Structure 1
Amino acid sequence: MSSPTSYQQVIDVILGRWKSQILYAGVKLGIFESVGAPAKNASEIADELGLDPSLSYRLLRALASLGFLSEDEGRNFAITPMGELLRQDHPQTLRGVVLLEEGPVHYALWKHLVDMVRDGKQDGFVREFGRRIFDYHAQNPEYAQVFNYAMSSYSATHTRLVLEALKGYDFSKIGNLCDIGGGHGHLICNILREHPALKGTVLELEATIRDKELLWAHRMGLADRCSYVAGDMFREVPGADAYIMKMILHDWDDQECVAILSNIRKASAPGARVFIVEHAVPGPKTPHFSKLFDIHMMCALTGRERTEKEYAALLEDAGLRYAQTHYPPSCAIGVVEGVKP
């Protein structure tokens, strides 16, 4: 007979989507922007946001039950530390992640998981929308806005983890670091701030870097040390002493990854380094976020999460050599380091 603990754990997984959809509704309706400290009455929140008072109270109560709000006997609600992370003005906000991953576009992908596993053909995005995610992104501005917002939400956490993983790394022999697919440059600009002698380049699509107001080099006063280059990593990459790619290779299948890495080899001199930042999959006895994220990649793209050895094999196939993997204390991500022989 199963234990009560096992039973509850299974129930929590089965009903997990209830929780994430309740959270999505709260974020989408603006509840975390409305509720703060001191506490605010449920009716006042409903009036402020133009919500039905009865149904919105029930949603507020559910959010409090999940720990995102607190409720007193008078139906007054205040935000909790967990809820603060859903506010737009929080420096580590996860609001964008909720809007993307629990929004209608990504929600629709998961219904294809069973068929994908059966027939061995991944990419639920194509099954649902008839095109790959980045093509859909280019043709749907509303989705693109949510997607970019979510990537910004992820960036603060990933940047912190990379800095932890590379703390103490000797950058003295690296003059220029190129961030391939680096978005607005959040990661590379924070690395440049830590290493004043270093210069940086961000390779990105023209549409991503067109608005100069969004670029971190300008926002952080690093425009003299960080340049932005429009281009396609599948065609060519700029020359540099070292390259970093954060959450890039997991989007693509092995052949596509080797093509990107081969362009790095072609553009660089012997001794050039490459840093691959990904959720490296640990051994079978270690529960890890990467093993769940891997299924998300199955639904959304052609890529996958990989083990340290699998990233080493990609480097080798591209004519590069695996050097070592750097981990932050949490081991949440891995920074796989390769070198051009």
Structure 2
Amino acid sequence: MANSDNPTLESLAAQITELSGQLPTSYSNLTGEMFMVRQKLLDSLNDMWWLAQGPSESIFNYCHSAIPDATVLNTLNSFGFWGAVPLTGSTTYADIAHEVQLPQAVVYRLLQHAMTLRIFAEEAGKDGNAPRVRHTSRSAALARQPGLRALVSTVLDDAGAPLMVLPEALRRFSSGKTDLTQKTDETAFALFHQGGQFGGKFETSWDYIENDGEGEKKGWRQRNFVQFMSYLKDIFLLEDKVLAAYDWASAGKASVVDIGGSAGHDAFALAQKFPDLTITVQDLPQVRSSFEASRPAAVADRVSFSAHSFFEPQPVQADIYLIKLILHDWPDAECLKILRGLIPALRPGAKVIILEYLGNYGTATDVRVMALFNAKERSVSKWKSLVAEVDPRFKIEKVEAKPEAFFALIEAVWTG
């Protein structure tokens, strides 16, 4: 509970009033301190929401609405409802149905539920005409931001159904054991897709993202994931965290490998700010086109793309290896394989910089990666012990964790 073990509606209302007065009116560029104030405010609002309903009714209401809420948002996103309504003005249900190519009765039912979530709103038609639909701030955000649409697709469309079979996966593969199974073919995702009823027997979430679709649609989830990651970098200000992760200026004319670097957004920022750096972005071959489309001409001579799976031995010898938001998607055994795969290329003094989520601040993500990969979010101590287990020739030089930033930074040097 946000206020105490036994809060009242009055005490929560007082706390909400106090916390509201501390927040700026802008939603963007919140400092770490303001982000934590907002989290406390949201906790208090949640406590009031549950308390006002009572314990039994709050559970009933959640079960009644949680899956339909997610289903409707995913469906509107999948069929492009955001672009079917003008950002200024309104339109009819019939026109929306024509745009999204669904029966009007279905469109009406989906939108009626969406409106309970303040996604779209209905207004009366003039002169007795049919009611019309307009955007709210929430639906307009999805219309304006491709990255937000990519987030909805990745989290709900890619991961939603596998999450719902997590109980059965745990029952089959982990029940009675002392720890979660580490096999990537014993995930909730693998269990859901093993029958192939949705287009293919995909072994892992990455296999699905990379290979789903036919013809021009093949790889659309991979392209969507790249956009999703770009959006995450913006909302978490990840570029700033990468720039501050190391004393890049002191590195001089250093070579950097950005492992699993997606379309290279962070590499471009590093190269622009530190002109002595030469950076290789490594990711799967399907990402190359997104990288080339995004690369600024000003850094084209210093930032290159190399197709590489981080499960294979590292082929590039460099001064610094950057691994960000990669390892939390894999069980310990795979993480160790990824990190040990660097060893063939490491020279004494080479640095490995790991930037990852702090496990105790990402419980929703923790459950999601459990269902998809049998992976987990980790605390600072878990990250340290994982790196220490890789090889005794790794020396951890720096550990930095800022709870308000939700990230941990670990810097290790190869002493071999």
Q: Which TM-score tier does this pair reach, normalised by the shorter chain? A: 0.7 to 0.9
Out of 138, 142, 149, the residue aligned to residue 224 of structure 2 is 149
CA distance in 1, matches of 2:308, 2:51: 56
After the TM superposition, which residues 1-341 of structure 1 pair with which residues of structure 2 at under 5 Å, given as runs? 3-7=51-55, 9-11=58-60, 13-14=62-63, 15-43=65-93, 44-74=95-125, 75-87=131-143, 90=145, 93-103=147-157, 106-118=159-171, 119-120=173-174, 121=181, 122-130=186-194, 131-141=203-213, 142=217, 144-158=219-233, 160-166=236-242, 168=244, 169-174=246-251, 175-209=254-288, 211=289, 214-215=291-292, 218-219=295-296, 221-237=298-314, 238-282=316-360, 288=361, 290-319=362-391, 320-326=394-400, 330-341=404-415
Between 1 and 2, higher relative CO (CA 8 Å, sep ≥ 6) is seen in 1
Q: Is the 8 A contact 2:325 2:355 kept in 1?
A: yes
Partner of 1:285: none
Q: Find the residue that maps to 2:229 and give its secondary structure.
A: helix
RMSD (Å), alpha carbons: 2.9
TM-score by length of 2: 0.70
CA contact (8 A) 1:85 1:95 kept: no
Q: Which runs of 5+ in 1 are unaligned?
A: 283-287
Deviation of 1:16 after TM superposition, in Å, equals 1.8
21-30 vs 268-277, which deviates more?
A: 268-277
Q: Following TM superposition, by how much is the alpha carbon of 1:98 offset from its aligned partner in structure 2, in angstroms?
A: 1.9
State the 1:327 CA deviation: 5.5
Change (3 A) 1:208 1:150: closer
Shift of residue 180 of structure 1? Answer: 0.7
Which runs of 5 or more residues in structure 2 are unaligned? Answer: 1-5, 7-49, 126-130, 175-180, 195-202
- Offset of 1:38 from its aligned partner? 1.5
Letter in 2 for 1:233: F
* CA gap 1:229/1:221 in 2 versus in 1, 3 angstroms: same
- Change in CA separation of 1:216 and 1:178 when aligned onto 2, cut-off 3 Å: farther
Q: How many residues align?
A: 330
Partners of 1:307 and 1:214 in 2: CA distance? 32
1:166 to partner: Cα distance: 4.3
TM-score normalised according to structure 1 size = 0.84
Structure 1 residue 200: deviation in Å?
A: 0.9
Report the alpha carbon displacement of residue 137 of structure 1 after superposing the two structures with TM.
4.4
CA distance in 2, matches of 1:329, 1:220: 37
From the superposition, tell whether residues 327 and 78 of structure 1 become closer, same or farther in structure 2 (CA, over 3 Å). farther
